[in-house]
Amino acid sequence: MTVGDDASGIQQKVTTELRAKSPYFGEIYSAVLQTNLNKLDDAYTNFFKHERGYPSYVTRLDSFEYKPGQAKIGLTNKNYATIYLPGIGNVNFHNSRSYEFGSVTDIRSVTVSREATYWFISVIVEIPDIIQDQIPLDKVKSVVGIDVGVNKLVAFSDGSFAINTKPATNKKTARRLAMRQRSIARKVKGSKNRKKAVIKLARTKHKIAANRNGRNWKVANDIVKMSDAVVREDLKIKNMVKRAKPKHDGKGGYKKNGASAKSGLNKVILDCGWGDIYNKIAWLALKAGKHVIVVNPKHTSQECPACGHIDKANREGEKFLCTNCGHTDHADTKASRTIAKKAGLVFPKNEKTLRADCAKVTSVERTTVGVVPRNHAFGTSGEQMCLFDIAEYHSSDKRITKKYGRTS
């Protein structure tokens, strides 16, 4: 070791020694070990320099990464493809993507990951011109407001709904989850049967997550296809799923605080995956050159669209009845229309191409209230109006991550 080596430099030398000594490390492709060390180095740099959390110790990694040029995709047919992974060999996998690998020339890094005993390969590829130019705001011809909820997953301003399938909290899966958990609880700690039960639970959870993910893509796709601009509330989901506060009875004990009911509701809220739907909308809208407008959620469910009267009593369950003028509507649909209105987009009255469901927003005068072109995800472009991190789906150099199916 020489003076002036950085931490990962030192560790890489140790790795070389380890590989020579231990056959276990010798079997692992050296570049993969190095990527892991770089990740460790990043984690500590983030902790010391960027005030991130202290890296947690993991006994076993569930994923590893090949740098560009190391893994090579070989034969492909309709459903299956072969990939050469250095140190492992040729691996067949289920090709879950519709495009042919032949048309993709530049394969970037390849990540192999495990989720509940299922293995996945995710390949970053370059697809040129996937992101379309954004429609200028004054050329936007239609807008859809969306209101997310528990009973109806999404209410649209055209009066339609997306139903909530409740992937984890519907009767069937909730029962199955409870059974699997109970089965683990009954088994001896450290036993083989307990391990088997843990795997069963992990698989069930994986299936539920996959189910929710697929549904959210579908819903987000439907929403983005509907119009040129999507208007949504700026919900703080983290604040909505906080635990019920304890109520003291003054004698050192506690009163009932509805904690059980709140925790049940929290489960249902988290099962909806609203944040995930928002992220997917952001990515799909970006790809299609459409707008996402985020508005202040204040009073969206209480304000009367006819007379503007704001009252908590206006809303009763799924019904909306104005205590001032008697206007009635479906509460969620009404909320989605109020949200669309808040965007403050104005359309010419005689515009033929305007969708029928946009009638509610045509009469609004232009205001700047709530339409703040803030941009956290794309600091420089300032085009996409969103407040959340969509880096998961998009990196600035226009590459996208594709997740492939289970390896065979």
What residues act catalytically? Answer: 147, 233, 332
Smallest distance from Zn ion to CB 315, Å: 12
Among residues 67, 94, 97, 309, the one that binds Zn ion under rule CB under 5 A: 309
Interacting residues of 185 by C-beta distance below 8 A, sequence separation 6+: none
Minimum distance of Zn ion from residue 305's CB (angstroms): 8
Judged by CB under 5 A, does residue 307 bind Zn ion? yes
Is 324 a binding residue for Zn ion by CB under 5 A? The answer is: yes
Number of residues that bind Zn ion (CB under 5 A): 8
Under the binding rule (CB under 5 A), the answer on residue 141 touching Zn ion is no
What x-and-dash track marks residues 14-53 binding Zn ion by CB under 5 A? ----------------------------------------
Verify binding: residue 331, Zn ion, rule CB under 5 A.
no
- CB-based contacts of 305, cutoff 8 Å, min separation 6: 327, 329, 334, 337, 338, 341, 360
CA distance 291 to 288: 9
Least Å distance, CB 93 to Zn ion, is 58
d(CA 338, CA 131): 30
Give me the least distance between CB of 336 and Zn ion, in Å please: 17
* Site track 259-298 with Zn ion (rule: CB under 5 A), x = hit: ----------------------------------------
Residue (163 or 307) nearer to Zn ion, CB: 307
**Part in contact with Zn ion (CB under 5 A); list of ranges 143-151, 157-165, 271-279, 324-332:** 324-332
How many Cα atoms occupy the beta-carbon half-sphere of 248 within 13 Å? 3
Q: Taking CB under 5 A as the rule, does residue 130 contact Zn ion? A: no
Answer yes or no whether residue 310 interacts with Zn ion by CB under 5 A: no
Shortest separation between residue 310's beta carbon and Zn ion, angstroms = 9
- Please identify, using beta-carbon distances, which residue of 151 and 324 lies nearer to Zn ion: 324
Q: Which is nearer to Zn ion, 205 or 327 (CB)?
A: 327
Q: Select the span of 18-26, 81-89, 326-334, 343-351 touching Zn ion (CB under 5 A).
A: 326-334
Q: Which stretch binds Zn ion (CB under 5 A): 228-236, 293-301, 303-311, 381-389?
A: 303-311
Instruction: Indicate whether 325 belongs to the interface with Zn ion (CB under 5 A).
Output: yes
Instruction: Classify strands 399-406 and 118-126 as parallel, antiparallel or unpaired.
Output: antiparallel
Beta strand 80-85 with 89-94 is: antiparallel
Q: Which is nearer to Zn ion, 265 or 321 (CB)?
A: 321
CB of 311 to Zn ion, least distance (A): 9
Query: From the list 108, 327, 355, 402, which residue makes contact with Zn ion (rule: CB under 5 A)?
Result: 327
CB of 323 to Zn ion, least distance (A): 8
Per rule CB under 5 A, is residue 110 in the interface with Zn ion? no
By the rule CB under 5 A, 306 interacts with Zn ion: yes
- The answer to whether 304 contacts Zn ion (rule: CB under 5 A) is yes
What residues contact 191, with CB distance under 8 A and at least 6 apart?
none
Task: Kindly write out the interface string for residues 373-392 of this chain, putting x where it contacts Zn ion by CB under 5 A and - elsewhere.
Answer: --------------------
Question: What is the C-alpha to C-alpha distance for residues 295 and 230, in angstroms, rounded to an integer?
Answer: 11
Residues that bind Zn ion (CB under 5 A): 304, 306-307, 309, 322, 324-325, 327
